[in-house]
């Protein structure tokens, strides 16, 4: 069996709200060099340069006992190919089937969207294929039917909504790399939920949660890359009935944007930070 290098690209989320032992999940590429750092061990590989390989996986720690509960390997690739096995975002944890155990959702640079159960077993119908996924997977009721959907985004500007069982509900193409996961909320205050997507092009898209269509007057155009997840906040003052939410985002143009959800009119604050 081929062994390979794993490198940490750690992003971590802690399941503190869960009763019982605290568990931490890390989506990673983990440095397991210690074994092959020994030249004697390295010989077992028969001349393979393990530094050229990448593997991504999930490791679950019990923070009480400080021990690894389990780990599972997902993708394996070389470090030079078009699709590489990095995991660049935090896994999302949510109980998809209501059995009381959290499920783990993660997209990989290999372009695969995984849902694992609480023991690390890949759920039926997964992984699903997209282009390289950099943003976190979002789980929310985006079409207001009381059931949770899953939303994934990729570097080709594909935004896709899936049922918890992995059946595609809709897919929209917004023609720019999506570096972070979407935000979910009733942006315009009409009682229906929207999906807000940041892009490398500087456009912030608002999509209908029902069918993925672009909600006008969006996209909102900033003049630099939007590399953060967009924050959705209710800025209405106490007692005041304001419609919708405010979209808050930075951009690489140096401004902080506060965009009124229903009208897309923005207040901008120069913060001078362009990186």
Site of interaction with Ca ion (CB under 5 A) = 95, 97, 99, 101, 103, 141, 143, 145, 147, 149, 186, 188, 190, 192, 194
Query: Any residues with CB less than 8 A from the CB of 192 and at least 6 apart, and which?
Result: 144, 186, 208, 209, 210
* Burial tier of 248 (Cβ tally within 10 Å: 0-12, 13-18, 19+): middle
Least distance (Å) from Ca ion to the CB of residue 171? Answer: 16
CB 163 within 8 A of CB 126: no
Least distance (Å) from Ca ion to the CB of residue 203? Answer: 19
Least distance (Å) from Ca ion to the CB of residue 70? Answer: 15
Least distance (Å) from Ca ion to the CB of residue 227? Answer: 25
CB-wise, 101 or 228, nearer to Ca ion?
101
CB-wise, 103 or 132, nearer to Ca ion?
103
CB-wise, 18 or 73, nearer to Ca ion?
18
Residues paired with 160 in a beta bridge: 152, 171
CB-wise, 49 or 99, nearer to Ca ion?
99
> Which H or E element spans position 138?
strand 138-140
CB-wise, 37 or 190, nearer to Ca ion?
190
Residue 227 has what DSSP assignment? -
Which residue's beta carbon is nearest to the bound Ca ion?
141
Residue 34 has what DSSP assignment? H
Least distance (Å) from Ca ion to the CB of residue 149? Answer: 5
CB 95 within 8 A of CB 120: no
Q: How many CB atoms lie within 10 A of CB 88?
A: 20
């Amino acid at each position: 069996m081929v062994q390979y290098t794993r490198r940490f690209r750690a992003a971590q989320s802690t399941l503190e709200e869960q009763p019982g032992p605290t568990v931490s999940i890390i989506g990673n590429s983990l440095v397991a060099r210690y074994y092959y750092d020994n030249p004697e061990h390295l010989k077992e590989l028969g001349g393979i340069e393990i530094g050229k390989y990448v593997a991504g996986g999930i490791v679950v720690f019990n923070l009480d006992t400080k021990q690894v509960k389990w780990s599972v390997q997902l993708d394996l690739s070389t470090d030079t190919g078009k699709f590489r096995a990095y995991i660049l975002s935090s896994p999302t944890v949510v109980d998809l089937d209501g059995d009381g155990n959290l499920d783990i959702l993660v997209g990989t640079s290999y372009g695969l969207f995984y849902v694992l159960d609480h023991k690390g077993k890949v759920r039926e119908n997964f992984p699903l294929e997209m282009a390289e996924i950099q943003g976190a997977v979002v789980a929310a009721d985006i079409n207001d039917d009381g059931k949770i959907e899953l939303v994934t985004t990729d570097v080709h500007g594909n935004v896709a909504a899936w049922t918890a069982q992995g059946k595609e509900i809709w897919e929209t193409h917004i023609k720019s790399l999506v570096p972070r996961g979407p935000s979910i909320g009733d942006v315009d205050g009409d009682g229906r939920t929207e999906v807000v997507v940041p892009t490398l092009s500087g456009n912030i898209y608002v999509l209908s949660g029902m069918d993925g269509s672009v909600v006008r007057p969006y996209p909102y155009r900033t003049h630099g890359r939007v590399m953060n997840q967009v924050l959705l906040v209710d800025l209405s003052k106490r007692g005041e009935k304001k419609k919708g939410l405010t979209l808050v985002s930075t951009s690489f143009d140096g401004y902080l944007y506060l965009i009124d959800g229903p009208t897309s009119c923005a207040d901008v604050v120069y913060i001078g930070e362009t990186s």
